[in-house]
Structure 1
Amino acid sequence: MSLIGTEVKPFKAHAYHNGEFIEVTEANFKGKWSVVCFYPADFTFVCPTELEDLQNQYATLKELGVEVYSVSTDTHFTHKAWHDHSEAISKIEYIMIGDPSQKLSRNFEVLNEEEGLADRGTFIIDPDGIIQAVEINAGGIGRDANTVVSKIKAAQYVRNNPGEVCPAKWEEGAATLKPSLDLVGKI
């Protein structure tokens, strides 16, 4: 079953954020747009490139009313240590959730049970706490944060303009579609 259109399941986790340890629950995903970015582990190879790329888009995402959360099965203590020792990760201003219980990874169906690590999963969650987009990549395939920004803009447009949809490669300000009988077979 797809997670698209489902509400984020209840959870409670510890996180590292701007020099402090905080608690995060499903309630944090309500009232604003959220991006949740799962990755396999701290102190690895592809992961810091993705998280740094996400940080490079963080200001743009904040302007769009989006909060970003990264998640791995490491602890919030490990996130702090990685933040303190990695040039790429030290730039991160968004929330880094620890999931050593693997509950959050299971809730989002990205846990690789054999390895005990999360797959590379990106989730876009609307202000009602409903999952609107999911992307899962194999371990060796890094993600591009520009794609996340584009998907957020499209999701926000569709939410704010009922009856309209965004075609492939849609960019803000470009034409959208209004699905109707008249369009069938004409695109």
Structure 2
Amino acid sequence: MSIIGTEVQPFNAKAFKNGDFIDVNEETFKGQWSVLCFYPADFTFVCPTELEDLQNEYATLKDMGVEVYSASTDTHFTHKGWHDSSETIGKITYTMIGDPSQQLSRNFEVLNEEAGLADRGTFIIDPDGVIQAAEINAEGIGRDASTVVKKIKAAQYVRNNPGEVCPAKWEEGDETLTPSLDLVGKI
């Protein structure tokens, strides 16, 4: 069963954000668009490149009404330690969720049970707390945050324009499609 179109399941976790520890739960994702990016572990190799790339898009995402969260099975204390010791991770201003119980990783179906680590999962969550997009990559394949920005623009457009859909490679301002009997077999 796909998690697309389902509400974020209940969870409780601690997170690190801007020098503070905060509590997060499923309600945290309601009231604004959210991006949740799971990654395997702190103090690793591909992960900091992805998290920095996400930070580089953070201002753009905030301007779009989107909050950003990263999550791994490390603790919030480990996130703080990594933030304080890494020049790259020290730039991060979005919330870093600790998931040592692995509850959040299980809820989003990204937990690699054997390794006890999360796979690279990216989720777009609408203001109602409903998952609208999901992408999961193998451990060695890094993600590009600019594609997340494009997907959110499309998701926001579709939400604000019921009955219209965004075709492949859609960019903001491009034409959309209105599914109908007239289009069947014409594309």
Which bracket does the TM-score occupy, shorter chain normalised? over 0.9
Aligned to 2:56: 56
In 1, Cα distance between equivalents of 2:3 and 2:32: 19
In 2, Cα distance between equivalents of 1:185 and 1:86: 54
Deviations along 1:71-95, whole A, 9 cap, x unmatched? 0000000000000111110000000
Aligned to 1:115: 115
Aligned to 2:170: 170
In 2, Cα distance between equivalents of 1:122 and 1:136: 6
**SS where residue 104 of structure 1 aligns?**
helix
Shift of 1:8: 0.2
Deviations along 1:120-160, whole A, 9 cap, x unmatched? 00000000000000000000000000000000000000000
Aligned to 2:161: 161
In 2, Cα distance between equivalents of 1:167 and 1:106: 31
In 1, Cα distance between equivalents of 2:4 and 2:65: 21
TM-score, with length taken from structure 2:
1.00
**SS where residue 105 of structure 2 aligns?**
helix
Aligned to 2:3: 3
Aligned to 1:41: 41
In 2, Cα distance between equivalents of 1:64 and 1:11: 26
- Deviant stretches of 4+, over 6 Å: none
Map residues 17-36 of structure 1 onto 2, 5 A cutoff: 17-36=17-36
Structure 1 residue identity aligned to 2:19: G
Shift of 1:31: 0.6
Cα RMSD after superposing both structures: 0.3
In 1, Cα distance between equivalents of 2:86 and 2:185: 53
Structure 2 residue identity aligned to 1:34: S
In 1, Cα distance between equivalents of 2:172 and 2:92: 27
Identity %: 82
